[in-house]
Amino acid sequence: MSVKQKIFLSVVILAICSLLFFIVFGENGWVDLNLLRQEKQRLLLENRRLEKENLSLYREIDRLKTDMTYIENIARQELGMIRAEEIILKLKNTEERNP
């Protein structure tokens, strides 16, 4: 093998190694592709979670628009509201009275 052939072979090998390096680690390379796939999977899972949350909120909105019993329960639980004829009894804890 002559010196020219050895130099040419070395340049070709170096070019192939450089090309392989850029394919794997360069911009839009194999590493970026894997990162994008992971990001896509994360976004799909987040999208599914948000779809479930939206469905739950739509159901609650529908109940708030149409179901008076549900509205009453929400008013009692979250706002502490009572009817006009109701009486609230607050009982003391028996453990606090007896030392």
DSSP string spanning 45-74? HHHHHHHHHHHHHHHHHHHHHH-HHHHHHH
Whether 99 is in a domain gets the answer no
Q: What is the CA radius of gyration of the chain?
A: 35
Angle, CA of 89, 93 and 98, to the nearest 5°: 135
pLDDT digits (tens, 9 = 90+) for 11-32: 888 988 888 887 777 777 788 8
Question: Domain range spanning residue 68?
Answer: 3-91
Least confident of 1-5, 16-20, 27-31, 58-62: 27-31
Confidence of residue 90 (pLDDT cuts 50, 70, 90): confident
Q: In the predicted model, is pLDDT for residue 97 greater than 70?
A: no
- What mean pLDDT value characterizes the chain? 87
Is 65:71 a contact under the CB 8 Å cutoff?
Answer: no
Confidence of residue 39 (pLDDT cuts 50, 70, 90): very high
The count of structural domains within the chain is 1
**What is the C-alpha end-to-end distance of the chain, expressed in Å?**
103
Whether 96 is in a domain gets the answer no
Q: Which residue has the higher pLDDT, 75 or 62?
A: 62
Whether 21 is in a domain gets the answer yes
